[in-house]
Amino acid sequence: MKTLIVQCYHTREVGGWIGRCLASVEAWAGARGHDYRFFDGSAFELCGEAFLRRVGDNKVAMANLARLELIRQAHQQGYDRAIWVDADVQVFDPDRFDIAPAPRLRMARETWLQPAQGSWGFASTLNNCVVASNAGDPDLDFLIQATRHRALHREFTHNFEVGVQLIRALHPILDFDLIDNVGMFSAHMVQAIAQGDADAMRRQAVCHKTPVQAANLSVSLHLSVRLPEAVILQAMDVLEHSRGEAINGHLRPSGPAR
């Protein structure tokens, strides 16, 4: 199956933790034999003038539609499958990480943990940080139409309205296939990983229930606490050096390997 991995960010000359995430995905794609293509902000032109006028300068809203259009564009260029991966996703166990072919459009399964009353509260849902779609899947065209419709025919106030809120509302009806080996770590969890908080990492693993070999670090979200880059890089080191064992090891009775 001819597959293209697609990513987009404001410029290719980007360093720091985002640059490291992008490099990890590109390296993984090459190792898997997938084609890889990076787009800068010019990809937002695929949204069209009408959509761009409605969302203003909201780059996340633009990306929510552009990712779907980039996947469709890849299909039109002859790819059997295209996979969008957010710029803040780190592949930390590339040898084990795979997004297996599936008959229908797939998105990442999200297990979101954050502090709550002295412990960790969590919510389980889905997230469009990774979207995989085969050529000809009618759900892709429907999502593009629904995203455009929401922006053009209702008051726009937040990027969630043309992103995660929309797909989560449709999930009970369309029953999207879920990718369960990509984690979704809140900034609180990223900080806990950097600090070696075993209780937090155990909670993340147990609530998600399946091993992860890649994760969206989520620290670019404005709803999250702002972390110093050194903390983010430390968490990335922990995940990469352990190949995810710092999290996944808690799924075994014996715990992570020492």
H or E stretch covering 57: none
User: What distance in Å separates the CA atoms of residue 104 and residue 177, rounded to the nearest whole number?
Assistant: 7
User: What distance in Å separates the CA atoms of residue 112 and residue 115, rounded to the nearest whole number?
Assistant: 10
Q: Which is nearest to 58 in space by CA: 136, 163, 138, 142?
A: 163
| pLDDT at residue 257 in the model | 65
**pTM (predicted TM-score):** 0.94
Half-sphere exposure of 173 (CA within 13 A, CB side): 8
How many residues comprise the chain? Answer: 258
Widest CA span of the chain, in angstroms?
A: 56
Find the DSSP H helices in the chain. 16-32, 49-55, 59-76, 138-153, 164-174, 187-194, 198-208, 229-242, 245-248
| pLDDT at residue 116 in the model | 86
Bridge partners for 111 per DSSP: 124
Q: Which is nearest to 186 in space by CA: 243, 125, 99?
A: 125
Bridge partners for 6 per DSSP: 37, 84
Name residues of the chain where pLDDT drops below 50: none
| pLDDT at residue 12 in the model | 64
Domains observed in the chain: 3-251 (3.90.550.10)
Tokens 């993984």 locate to 28
| pLDDT at residue 258 in the model | 58
